[in-house]
Amino acid sequence: MITILFDGIAYGMLLFVLAAGLSVTLGLMNFVNLAHGAFAMAGGYAALVLVNRLGVPFGLGLVCAFLFSAALGALLERTLYVHVYAKSHLDQVLFTIGLVFMSVAVVDYTMGSSQQFILIPPALQGQVTVLGLDMSKYRLMIIVICGLLTLLLQLGLTRTRFGSRLRAAVDDQRVARGLGINVGAVFAMTFALGSGLAGLGGALGAEILGLDPIFPLKYMIYFLIVVTVGGTSSITGPFLASLLLGIGDVAGKYYVPRLGAFVIYTIMIVVLIWRPQGLFVRRGAR
């Protein structure tokens, strides 16, 4: 029972790191980025090449995955995405689906089609027993890293100047602009940060989720669920939603293996209908 909870939390935290960027971009620019998973995949493969082929230590590989995806995100944001913000949602959907298809083919071409794994150091393999509880070392590490990241994000959002600008821009873009906040720049930064986080998540999650060219398609729906259930006005919403989703998914598979994913989709639809702005939204935020 507790093992299930532990697994669910690890899974949920991973989902949060993967999807956090998406929730911010969606909230800030009202932009539907279905290609978010592609940045996660990019990070995963960047770490894979560094660690497996060039022998870079695992920890450094994770940092590089973050940087790589962040750079890629910034580049694409400035060159391509920026032209699509003003377009309709339909255009955004088409554009990002197109990007997903392209990323799938490009990764397939360059990295091969089979599922690959990042070599993790022996110290992180196997299990550790804490208070009589068997815990996977790797999942424990995920929880620690993602927990720290969540704290950092929360502090960054509430305590720094950038954070307050970002929150202002999310709450009311026009007023923020009027106050002299460069919303475009804030957004570019946020996009890069979100992509970087996704990249880190992709590298961290390769061990659990697997890494193959169709990664962005496989997990797109999970990210979207996190965002829709969690709402886009804070990071606590998506965080709680991720945990709920992670625990729900793992427990569902354990207790009713034949129902599995079914539970999650139902939850999503119910939440969407009941609270279209997300489950964890402060009432009257808008």
Partner 1 sequence: MTSSSRLAAAIAAQFTDRARWSLLEVLFWLVALSTIWLLPDQHLILAEIVIWALFALSLDLILGYAGIISLGHAAFFGIGAYTAGLLAKHALVGEPVLALLLAGLAGAVFGFLTSFLVLRGTDLTRLMVTLGIALLVRELANRFGWLTGGADGLQGIDMQPVLGLFRFDLYGHTAYIYSLAVLFVLFLLARRIVGSPFGLALLAIKGNPLRASAIGIGADRRLIGIYTLAAAYAGIAGGLLTQTTAFTSLESLSFDRSADGLLVLIIGGTGHLYGGLIGAVVFRFAQDWIATATPQYWQFWIGLFLVLIVLVGRDRIGGWFTPLRRLADRVGAWRPGKTRPTVLPGQGGAP
Partner 2 sequence: MLKHVLTPLAVTLGLLAGGPASAQGVVKIGVLEAMTGQQQSTGVQTLAAMKLYMAQHGDTVAGKKIELIVKDDGAVADNSKRLAQELIVRDKVNFLVGFAVTPTALAVAPLATEAKVPTIVANAGTSIITERSPYILRTSFTLPQSSVIIGEWAAKNGIKKVVTIVSDYAPGLDGEKSFTEAFTKGGGQVVEAVKVPLAAPDFAPFLQRARDASPDAIFVFVPSGQGATFVKQFIERGLDKAGIKIIGPGDVTDDDLLNGMGEQVIGTVTAHMYSADHPSALNKAYVEAFKKANNGLRPNFMSVGGYDAMHLIYEALKKTGGDTDGDKLMAAMKGMAWESPRGPISIDPETRDIVQNIYIRKVEKKDGELYNVEFQTFDAVKDPGKAKK
Q: Which residues contribute to the site for partner 2 (CB under 8 A)?
A: 3-4, 7, 11, 104, 108, 112-117, 119, 125-127, 134, 136, 138-139, 207-210, 212-214, 218-219, 249-254, 257-258, 260-261
What's the CA gap between 181 and 187, in Å, rounded? 11
Q: How far lies 117's CA from each of 14, 186, 262, in Å?
A: 17, 35, 28
Centroid of chain to Cα 60? 20
Q: Which amino acid is at 237?
A: G
Among 3, 60, 85, 109, binds partner 1 (CB under 8 A): 109
Shorter beta-carbon distance to partner 1: residue 150 or 228: 228
| Element at 128 (helix H, strand E) | strand 127-130
**What does 91 bind: partner 1, partner 2, none (CB cut-off 5 to 8 Å by kind)?**
partner 1
Among 2, 102, 152, 285, binds partner 1 (CB under 8 A): 102
Please report whether residue 221 would count as binding partner 1 according to CB under 8 A: yes
The amino acid at 198: A
Choose among 250, 264, 281: nearest CA to 14: 250
Structure tokens given for 226:
């996190």
* Residue 284: contacted member of partner 2, partner 1, none (CB under 5 to 8 Å, by partner type): none
Among 93, 119, 128, 175, binds partner 1 (CB under 8 A): 93
Contact mark string toward partner 1, 29..68, x via CB under 8 A: -x-x------------------------------------
Q: Is 280 in the site for partner 1 (CB under 8 A)?
A: no
CA 269/CA 201 separation, integer angstroms: 26
Question: Please, which residue, 140 or 221, has the CB nearer to partner 1?
Answer: 221
286 binds, among partner 1, partner 2, none (CB under 5 to 8 A by kind): none
Which own/partner pairs from 146-150 qualify as long-range (CB within 8 Å, at least 24 positions apart)?
146/13, 146/14, 146/16, 146/17, 146/204, 147/13, 149/17, 149/197, 149/200, 150/13, 150/16, 150/235, 150/239
Considering the complex, state which of residue 206 and residue 224 has its C-beta at the smaller distance from partner 1.
Answer: 224
Picking from 216, 239, 247, the residue whose alpha carbon sits closest to that of residue 11 is 247
Q: Shortest distance, CB of residue 45 to partner 2, whole angstroms?
A: 13
d(CA 164, CA 3): 38
Residues that bind partner 1 (CB under 8 A): 26, 30, 32, 80, 83-84, 87, 89-95, 97-106, 108-109, 217, 221, 224, 228, 258-259, 261-262, 265-266, 268-269, 272-273, 276
